[in-house]
Amino acid sequence: MPTSFRDLEIWRRSLAWATEVHVVTRAFPREEMWGLAAQVRRAAISVPSNIAEGHGRLTAADFKQFLAVARGSLREAETQLEMSLRLGYVKQIQVQPLIDEAQAIGRMVSSFISRITEQRSGPATRAQSSKLKAQSSS
């Protein structure tokens, strides 16, 4: 695993995405600066923040938990961006790339969680797990 969270592509992409969310929300109406704009910004910055914090934890289980929170924050921000579109604060052309990137980052997070899980469980554990799944579906 990289020695710094800054070496993680997932962190770099999510930070760039959060920055873009911040830029897009500057166009929100003034009365929304402490409402929906602030909320979507908090959800967006939560993604790279949780990736960084999880990377600094001592166990793989802790890291996975922080990655799961990051994934949840992505979905929260997507919902808020969709609401912004419906309220007419932003245009589809501004929001769609952000939603597309959020979904791509979400896939990266899920993949990262899977890799951590596989690294933690050795080949014997995976084989036992597969055997148990096969037995339970019979």
Look up the CATH number of the domain holding residue 87: 1.20.1440.60
Domain that holds residue 36: 5-136
pTM: predicted TM-score of the whole model, two decimal places: 0.82
What pLDDT, in 10s, does the model give residues 16-41? 999 999 999 999 999 988 999 999 99
pLDDT greater than 80 at residue 105: yes
Rg of the chain on CA atoms, in Å: 18
List pLDDT tens digits, range 74-103: 999 999 999 999 999 999 999 999 999 999
Q: Is the pLDDT of residue 127 over 60?
A: no
Residue 124, pLDDT > 80, answer no
Does residue 54 register a pLDDT over 80? Answer: yes
Q: Is 11 exposed, middle or buried (0-12, 13-18, 19+ CB in 10 A)?
A: buried
Instruction: Measure Cα distances from 92 to 11, 53, 79, 117, 121 in Å.
Output: 26, 32, 14, 37, 43
Both tokens assigned to 10: 């997932």
pLDDT, greater one: 1 or 25: 25
Ramachandran angles phi, psi of 11, nearest 5°: -70, -45
User: Total structural domains in the chain?
Assistant: 1
Report the pLDDT value the prediction gives residue 1, as an integer from 0 to 100: 57
Which has the higher per-residue pLDDT, 110 or 121?
110
- The C-alpha atoms of residue 19 and residue 12 are separated, in whole angstroms, by 11
